[in-house]
Amino acid sequence: MSPESAVSPVSPARQALSTWFRPRGAWIASVLIACMLTLHAVVPNRVGRLGSLLETFLPWLGLAVPVLAGVALLRRSPVALAAVLPPLAAWLALFGGLLLPRSDGAYDLTAVQHNVSDVNPDPAGTARTLLRADADLIALEEVTPSHAREFTAALDYPHHAVVGTVGLWSRYPLTDVRAVDIRPTGVGTDWNRGLRATAATPSGEVAVYVAHLPSVRLGAGFDTALRDESAALLARALDAEPLPDLLLLGDLNSTVDDRGLDPVRAHVNAPSRGLAFSWPASFPLARIDQILARDATVTRIWTLPDTDSDHVPIAARIRL
């Protein structure tokens, strides 16, 4: 048998893989990713809420850029290397501003947001971590009655309010504290996850909302129905708020890119700097904890050290 005849044929799978590593395949992948980034809003949500699922993890599509670049370099193909440009440009247009150098600049308030977990074994330790931000306002979710007492003692803020399982601790007086009904249809009356208060800050009165929207579920798709209904109820409350300066702090179980949060986003603005991924704490993939504002600007957002929760606490500077 000759050496030539002893060479085994290339498998169909390897041939297909090689085809995608060619410039043509790289450009097809490049255009597809760029379209997903720029046209994510047209991805339908009717089947499995795929649009919301894509938007939840949208920044991670940027990982395609180094992958495409690495393949092009391995193949020594300038044409394939140029294929990184469309997704890179699309990603920078959407998220590049979040990576600009952070500067506190002028600000009036510092706020902290954290889902502390209702099974947190060390509320006092969690409180010590939150105090590192030297915040004027601290919003917490999944606050059990026993945790409420422990957090109040450990934080030692002069003013606080707790409604159901959400709470607000403040350096400034809180008035007009009331529950905000964001309970989806069919959920029991003991489900209370919304709070509204007026904080008398040195810069004037600010309406502060603390909310914990229902969780989403991954199964046969991306189940967001309860969260989306709760978000619409929260948006109605924000729309009716008479005070111009408004802050929304909470575990919204949604990124700001997810269309399920669109009703809320119609009334508040997202931070312009910082990614601050907050969930899951073991390997943060998305910021589903939010600090949003109306007639005010969140100038910077960042994460605090981990606590005994499955969420990472976030903090923000706010200019009124």
User: pTM value?
Assistant: 0.87
CATH number (3.40.50.720, 3.90.1150.10, 3.60.10.10, 3.40.190.10) of 109-319 reads 3.60.10.10
Q: What is the pLDDT of residues 190-204, one digit of tens each?
A: 999 999 999 999 999
pLDDT of residue 183 exceeding 60: yes
Show the tokens assigned to 266: 């119609």
Q: At residue 258, what are phi and psi to the nearest 5 degrees?
A: -70, 125
* Contact in structure between 248 and 268 (CB atoms under 8 Å): yes
Mean pLDDT of 26-47: 88
pLDDT of residue 262 exceeding 70: yes
pLDDT of residue 251 exceeding 50: yes
CATH 3.60.10.10-classified regions of the chain: 109-319
Q: Which residues pair with 161 in a beta bridge?
A: 168
Q: At residue 103, what are phi and psi to the nearest 5 degrees?
A: -140, 130
Per-residue confidence (pLDDT) for residue 11, from 0 to 100: 63
* Contact in structure between 224 and 49 (CB atoms under 8 Å): yes
- Which residue in 184, 140, 186, 185 sits closest to 163, CA to CA? 140
CA-to-CA separations, 173 to 134, 209, 294, 306, in angstroms, rounded: 17, 15, 20, 29
- The secondary structure of 211-257 as a DSSP string is EEPPPPEEESEEE-HHHHHHHHHHHHHHHH---S-EEEEEE-SS-TT
Per-residue confidence (pLDDT) for residue 73, from 0 to 100: 84
User: pLDDT class for 49, splitting at 50, 70, 90?
Assistant: confident
Per-residue confidence (pLDDT) for residue 10, from 0 to 100: 56
Write down the mean pLDDT value for the chain. Answer: 90
Per-residue confidence (pLDDT) for residue 250, from 0 to 100: 98
CA-to-CA separations, 211 to 49, 74, 252, 255, 319, in angstroms, rounded: 23, 49, 7, 14, 21
Task: Determine what percent of the chain is predicted with pLDDT higher than 90.
Answer: 72
Q: What is the pLDDT of residues 5-23, one digit of tens each?
A: 455 565 665 555 454 456 7
Q: At residue 148, what are phi and psi to the nearest 5 degrees?
A: -60, -45
* Contact in structure between 308 and 126 (CB atoms under 8 Å): yes
Show the tokens assigned to 17: 């893989």
Per-residue confidence (pLDDT) for residue 134, from 0 to 100: 97
- Which residue in 239, 145, 238 sits closest to 192, CA to CA? 145
Per-residue confidence (pLDDT) for residue 9, from 0 to 100: 60
| CB proximity list for 212: less than 8 A, separation 6 or greater | 115, 141, 142, 165, 166, 193, 194, 250, 251, 252
- The secondary structure of 3-15 as a DSSP string is TGGGSPPPPHHHH
Q: What is the pLDDT of residues 221-235, one digit of tens each?
A: 688 999 999 999 999
* Contact in structure between 206 and 320 (CB atoms under 8 Å): yes
Q: What is the pLDDT of residues 286-309, one digit of tens each?
A: 999 999 999 999 999 999 999 999
Q: What is the pLDDT of residues 83-121, one digit of tens each?
A: 899 999 999 999 988 887 766 779 999 999 999 999 999
Per-residue confidence (pLDDT) for residue 70, from 0 to 100: 87
Q: What is the pLDDT of residues 112-155, one digit of tens each?
A: 999 999 999 999 999 999 999 999 999 999 999 999 999 999 99
